[in-house]
Amino acid sequence: MNPSESDIPFKPGLAAAGIPMRDGIWQCLDASQVQGSNARYMRMYDRLARWYDLGERWIGRLLYGRSIARMRRELMASLPWRPGCRALYVSIGTGMDLASIPADLNAIRLIGADLSQGMLCRCRAVWARKARLELVRCQAEELPFQDGAFDIVFHVGGINFFSDPAQAVREMLRVARPGAALLIADETAEHIERQYKRSLFTRRDFRDARFDLSAIESCIPPGVLNRRTRLLWQGRFYCITFSKEGARPCNPA
Protein backbone atom coordinates (compact mmCIF):
# COMPACT_ATOMS: atom_id res chain seq x y z
CA MET A 1 0.00 0.00 0.00
CA ASN A 2 1.16 3.51 -0.80
CA PRO A 3 1.31 5.83 2.27
CA SER A 4 -1.02 8.30 0.52
CA GLU A 5 -3.66 5.56 0.30
CA SER A 6 -3.63 4.79 4.03
CA ASP A 7 -5.74 6.38 6.76
CA ILE A 8 -2.62 7.67 8.51
CA PRO A 9 -1.87 11.41 8.43
CA PHE A 10 1.83 11.05 7.68
CA LYS A 11 3.94 14.16 7.23
CA PRO A 12 3.69 15.11 3.54
CA GLY A 13 7.43 14.77 2.96
CA LEU A 14 7.51 11.25 4.36
CA ALA A 15 4.47 10.13 2.41
CA ALA A 16 5.87 11.54 -0.83
CA ALA A 17 9.22 9.82 -0.29
CA GLY A 18 7.56 6.50 0.38
CA ILE A 19 7.42 4.57 3.65
CA PRO A 20 8.32 0.88 3.69
CA MET A 21 6.01 -1.68 5.31
CA ARG A 22 7.11 -4.88 7.01
CA ASP A 23 4.77 -7.49 8.48
CA GLY A 24 1.87 -5.10 7.88
CA ILE A 25 3.53 -2.34 9.93
CA TRP A 26 4.70 1.02 8.55
CA GLN A 27 8.45 1.44 9.14
CA CYS A 28 9.41 4.99 10.16
CA LEU A 29 12.38 3.94 12.26
CA ASP A 30 15.94 2.89 11.58
CA ALA A 31 16.57 0.64 14.57
CA SER A 32 20.33 1.04 14.21
CA GLN A 33 19.95 4.75 14.99
CA VAL A 34 18.00 4.25 18.26
CA GLN A 35 20.15 5.28 21.21
CA GLY A 36 20.11 5.66 24.99
CA SER A 37 17.42 4.06 27.10
CA ASN A 38 15.14 3.74 24.05
CA ALA A 39 17.59 1.22 22.58
CA ARG A 40 17.74 -0.75 25.83
CA TYR A 41 13.99 -1.04 26.21
CA MET A 42 13.41 -1.67 22.52
CA ARG A 43 15.59 -4.76 22.84
CA MET A 44 13.85 -5.78 26.07
CA TYR A 45 10.36 -5.56 24.60
CA ASP A 46 11.40 -7.31 21.41
CA ARG A 47 12.68 -10.12 23.64
CA LEU A 48 9.50 -10.28 25.74
CA ALA A 49 6.92 -9.69 22.98
CA ARG A 50 6.07 -13.33 22.34
CA TRP A 51 5.21 -13.95 25.99
CA TYR A 52 4.11 -10.49 27.12
CA ASP A 53 0.33 -10.96 27.02
CA LEU A 54 0.54 -14.41 28.56
CA GLY A 55 2.64 -13.08 31.43
CA GLU A 56 0.29 -10.25 32.23
CA ARG A 57 -2.82 -12.36 31.82
CA TRP A 58 -1.75 -15.18 34.13
CA ILE A 59 1.06 -13.91 36.33
CA GLY A 60 -0.61 -10.52 36.65
CA ARG A 61 -3.92 -12.10 37.61
CA LEU A 62 -2.21 -14.36 40.12
CA LEU A 63 -0.50 -11.40 41.80
CA TYR A 64 -3.19 -8.74 41.46
CA GLY A 65 -6.47 -10.46 40.62
CA ARG A 66 -8.64 -8.40 38.29
CA SER A 67 -7.36 -5.04 39.54
CA ILE A 68 -5.19 -4.47 36.44
CA ALA A 69 -8.22 -4.84 34.17
CA ARG A 70 -10.18 -2.39 36.34
CA MET A 71 -7.34 0.12 36.10
CA ARG A 72 -7.22 -0.20 32.31
CA ARG A 73 -10.95 0.49 32.11
CA GLU A 74 -10.55 3.53 34.35
CA LEU A 75 -7.73 4.88 32.17
CA MET A 76 -9.63 4.46 28.92
CA ALA A 77 -12.80 5.93 30.43
CA SER A 78 -10.82 9.14 31.07
CA LEU A 79 -10.85 9.95 27.35
CA PRO A 80 -13.74 11.36 25.27
CA TRP A 81 -14.28 8.55 22.78
CA ARG A 82 -16.70 9.39 19.97
CA PRO A 83 -17.48 7.70 16.65
CA GLY A 84 -15.25 8.98 13.88
CA CYS A 85 -12.51 10.32 16.10
CA ARG A 86 -8.91 9.75 15.13
CA ALA A 87 -6.83 8.53 18.07
CA LEU A 88 -3.10 7.95 18.42
CA TYR A 89 -1.79 5.46 20.97
CA VAL A 90 1.89 6.18 21.59
CA SER A 91 3.69 3.04 22.81
CA ILE A 92 0.78 0.75 21.98
CA GLY A 93 2.77 -2.39 22.78
CA THR A 94 0.61 -5.47 22.25
CA GLY A 95 -2.55 -3.36 22.44
CA MET A 96 -3.98 -4.77 25.66
CA ASP A 97 -5.62 -1.45 26.53
CA LEU A 98 -7.75 -1.54 23.39
CA ALA A 99 -10.08 -4.06 25.00
CA SER A 100 -10.93 -1.45 27.65
CA ILE A 101 -11.91 1.37 25.31
CA PRO A 102 -15.61 2.08 25.95
CA ALA A 103 -16.51 2.43 22.27
CA ASP A 104 -16.92 0.48 19.04
CA LEU A 105 -13.33 -0.03 17.86
CA ASN A 106 -14.45 -0.12 14.25
CA ALA A 107 -16.01 3.33 14.61
CA ILE A 108 -12.75 4.95 15.75
CA ARG A 109 -9.72 5.54 13.55
CA LEU A 110 -6.93 4.10 15.70
CA ILE A 111 -3.23 4.46 14.98
CA GLY A 112 -0.72 2.70 17.21
CA ALA A 113 2.94 3.70 17.43
CA ASP A 114 5.78 1.82 19.08
CA LEU A 115 9.51 1.31 18.60
CA SER A 116 9.38 -2.46 19.22
CA GLN A 117 8.69 -4.44 16.07
CA GLY A 118 8.05 -7.52 18.18
CA MET A 119 5.32 -5.84 20.22
CA LEU A 120 3.73 -4.32 17.11
CA CYS A 121 3.64 -7.72 15.39
CA ARG A 122 1.91 -9.20 18.41
CA CYS A 123 -0.54 -6.30 18.46
CA ARG A 124 -1.37 -6.77 14.79
CA ALA A 125 -1.88 -10.52 15.24
CA VAL A 126 -4.45 -9.91 17.99
CA TRP A 127 -6.21 -6.74 16.86
CA ALA A 128 -6.04 -6.44 13.06
CA ARG A 129 -9.51 -7.94 12.60
CA LYS A 130 -11.05 -6.47 15.73
CA ALA A 131 -10.39 -2.75 15.25
CA ARG A 132 -9.93 -0.08 12.61
CA LEU A 133 -6.23 -0.01 13.40
CA GLU A 134 -2.99 0.81 11.61
CA LEU A 135 0.44 0.41 13.18
CA VAL A 136 3.60 2.48 12.79
CA ARG A 137 7.09 1.75 14.05
CA CYS A 138 8.67 4.98 15.28
CA GLN A 139 10.05 6.71 18.34
CA ALA A 140 7.77 8.83 20.52
CA GLU A 141 10.33 11.62 20.32
CA GLU A 142 10.02 11.74 16.52
CA LEU A 143 6.43 11.03 15.50
CA PRO A 144 6.02 10.87 11.69
CA PHE A 145 2.57 12.50 11.68
CA GLN A 146 1.21 15.87 10.60
CA ASP A 147 0.61 18.70 13.05
CA GLY A 148 -2.86 18.75 14.63
CA ALA A 149 -3.94 15.42 13.18
CA PHE A 150 -5.48 13.63 16.19
CA ASP A 151 -8.55 14.15 18.39
CA ILE A 152 -7.12 11.94 21.14
CA VAL A 153 -3.46 11.22 21.92
CA PHE A 154 -2.69 8.78 24.72
CA HIS A 155 0.28 6.93 26.12
CA VAL A 156 0.24 4.13 28.69
CA GLY A 157 3.55 2.70 29.86
CA GLY A 158 7.07 3.62 28.79
CA ILE A 159 7.58 7.37 29.14
CA ASN A 160 9.26 6.98 32.54
CA PHE A 161 12.39 5.76 30.78
CA PHE A 162 12.24 7.34 27.35
CA SER A 163 15.53 8.80 26.17
CA ASP A 164 13.85 12.23 26.06
CA PRO A 165 10.40 12.31 27.73
CA ALA A 166 10.06 16.09 27.34
CA GLN A 167 10.51 15.79 23.57
CA ALA A 168 7.97 12.96 23.50
CA VAL A 169 5.40 15.18 25.23
CA ARG A 170 6.11 18.00 22.79
CA GLU A 171 5.54 15.61 19.90
CA MET A 172 2.26 14.34 21.38
CA LEU A 173 1.05 17.92 21.69
CA ARG A 174 2.23 18.80 18.20
CA VAL A 175 0.19 16.05 16.54
CA ALA A 176 -2.90 16.73 18.70
CA ARG A 177 -5.62 19.00 17.34
CA PRO A 178 -6.55 22.18 19.23
CA GLY A 179 -8.85 21.10 22.04
CA ALA A 180 -7.71 17.46 21.81
CA ALA A 181 -7.61 15.28 24.92
CA LEU A 182 -4.27 13.79 25.99
CA LEU A 183 -3.42 11.15 28.57
CA ILE A 184 -0.04 10.02 29.87
CA ALA A 185 0.16 7.11 32.32
CA ASP A 186 2.86 4.82 33.66
CA GLU A 187 4.06 2.99 36.76
CA THR A 188 5.00 4.84 39.92
CA ALA A 189 8.44 4.56 41.50
CA GLU A 190 7.09 2.23 44.19
CA HIS A 191 5.79 -0.27 41.63
CA ILE A 192 8.99 -0.12 39.60
CA GLU A 193 10.98 -1.02 42.72
CA ARG A 194 8.67 -3.84 43.78
CA GLN A 195 7.86 -5.34 40.39
CA TYR A 196 10.29 -4.54 37.60
CA LYS A 197 13.47 -4.54 39.65
CA ARG A 198 12.62 -7.92 41.18
CA SER A 199 11.12 -9.77 38.24
CA LEU A 200 13.33 -12.42 36.65
CA PHE A 201 12.30 -11.13 33.22
CA THR A 202 13.01 -7.40 33.69
CA ARG A 203 15.34 -6.86 36.63
CA ARG A 204 18.46 -6.74 34.46
CA ASP A 205 17.05 -3.89 32.36
CA PHE A 206 15.68 -1.93 35.33
CA ARG A 207 18.55 -2.54 37.73
CA ASP A 208 19.85 1.06 37.58
CA ALA A 209 16.56 2.74 36.66
CA ARG A 210 15.51 5.81 38.64
CA PHE A 211 12.17 7.58 38.37
CA ASP A 212 10.57 10.73 39.77
CA LEU A 213 6.98 11.57 38.86
CA SER A 214 7.68 15.29 39.19
CA ALA A 215 10.17 14.96 36.31
CA ILE A 216 7.39 13.73 34.02
CA GLU A 217 4.98 16.40 35.26
CA SER A 218 7.58 19.06 34.50
CA CYS A 219 7.62 17.92 30.85
CA ILE A 220 4.06 19.14 30.34
CA PRO A 221 4.07 22.82 29.31
CA PRO A 222 2.07 25.38 31.30
CA GLY A 223 -0.21 26.29 28.41
CA VAL A 224 -2.26 23.08 28.50
CA LEU A 225 -5.79 23.04 29.88
CA ASN A 226 -7.58 20.96 32.53
CA ARG A 227 -4.40 19.30 33.72
CA ARG A 228 -4.92 16.66 36.40
CA THR A 229 -2.66 14.03 37.98
CA ARG A 230 -4.18 11.00 39.69
CA LEU A 231 -2.80 7.87 41.31
CA LEU A 232 -4.56 4.64 40.37
CA TRP A 233 -4.33 0.96 41.21
CA GLN A 234 -3.56 1.59 44.87
CA GLY A 235 -0.75 3.99 44.04
CA ARG A 236 1.04 1.72 41.55
CA PHE A 237 0.14 3.81 38.49
CA TYR A 238 -0.16 7.51 37.75
CA CYS A 239 -2.38 9.15 35.16
CA ILE A 240 -1.98 12.70 33.85
CA THR A 241 -4.79 14.08 31.68
CA PHE A 242 -4.92 17.44 29.93
CA SER A 243 -6.20 19.17 26.81
CA LYS A 244 -4.41 21.09 24.10
CA GLU A 245 -5.23 24.77 24.04
CA GLY A 246 -7.89 25.76 21.53
CA ALA A 247 -11.17 24.19 20.50
CA ARG A 248 -11.97 22.02 17.56
CA PRO A 249 -14.63 19.30 17.47
CA CYS A 250 -13.99 15.66 16.77
CA ASN A 251 -14.70 15.15 13.07
CA PRO A 252 -16.63 12.11 11.88
CA ALA A 253 -15.10 9.69 9.41
- pLDDT at site 193: 86
90 closest CA partner among 39, 17, 158: 158
Q: So what's the pLDDT on residue 71?
A: 96
pLDDT along the chain (253 residues), means of 10: 78 88 97 96 96 82 88 97 98 98 97 98 97 98 98 98 98 98 96 80 84 96 97 97 80 44
Class of CATH domain 14-97+106-243:
alpha beta
Residue 104 identity: D
Q: What is the pLDDT of residue 224?
A: 97
- Grouping H, G, I as helix, E, B as strand and the rest as coil, residue 209 is coil
pLDDT at 192: 85
Sheet strand arrangement including 237-243: 21-22, 25-27, 133-137, 109-114, 86-90, 150-156, 176-187, 237-243, 225-232
For the chain, the structural domain boundaries read 14-97+106-243
- Please report the pLDDT score of residue 249 as a whole number: 47
Compute the half-sphere exposure of residue 185: CA atoms within 13 Å on the CB side of its CA: 27
Position 253 scores a pLDDT of 42
Segment (H or E) for 206: helix 203-206
